């Protein structure tokens, strides 16, 4: 009987340790997901900014773009 009780105690300890490990893994997963979400948001913001700048360059709306257009027109064959 004592052997069975010891085995039950051992299994309970193992279960608690496993649950703690699962909790640590889940916390790590949540942190990684938050980091990924932040990086994805930063990338999307940078992508929108780049798209807006490209649009301004195409329409000549960015200061210095006339020089850019002049340089590019020298390389174009008409």
Q: What's the pLDDT score for residue 31? A: 98
Phi first, then psi: give them for residue 29, nearest 5 degrees.
-60, -45
Q: Residue 69: CB partners within 8 Å, gap ≥ 6?
A: 60
Q: What is the pLDDT of residues 48-76, one digit of tens each?
A: 999 999 999 999 876 655 555 555 555 55
Q: What is the pTM of this model?
A: 0.60
* Residue 73 or residue 44, greater confidence: 44
Q: What's the pLDDT score for residue 60? A: 85
Q: What number is the average pLDDT over the span 12-25?
A: 98
Mean pLDDT of the chain: 87
Cβ neighbourhood burial of 13 (10 Å; 0-12, 13-18, 19+): exposed
C-beta of residue 68 within 8 angstroms of C-beta of residue 56 = no
């Amino acid at each position: 009987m004592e052997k069975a009780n010891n085995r039950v105690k051992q299994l309970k300890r193992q279960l608690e340790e496993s649950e703690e490990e699962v909790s640590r893994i889940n916390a790590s997963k949540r942190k990684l997901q938050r980091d990924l979400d932040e990086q994805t948001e930063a990338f999307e913001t940078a992508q929108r900014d780049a798209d807006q700048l490209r649009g301004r360059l195409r329409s000549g709306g960015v200061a210095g773009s006339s020089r850019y257009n002049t340089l590019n027109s020298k390389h174009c064959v008409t």
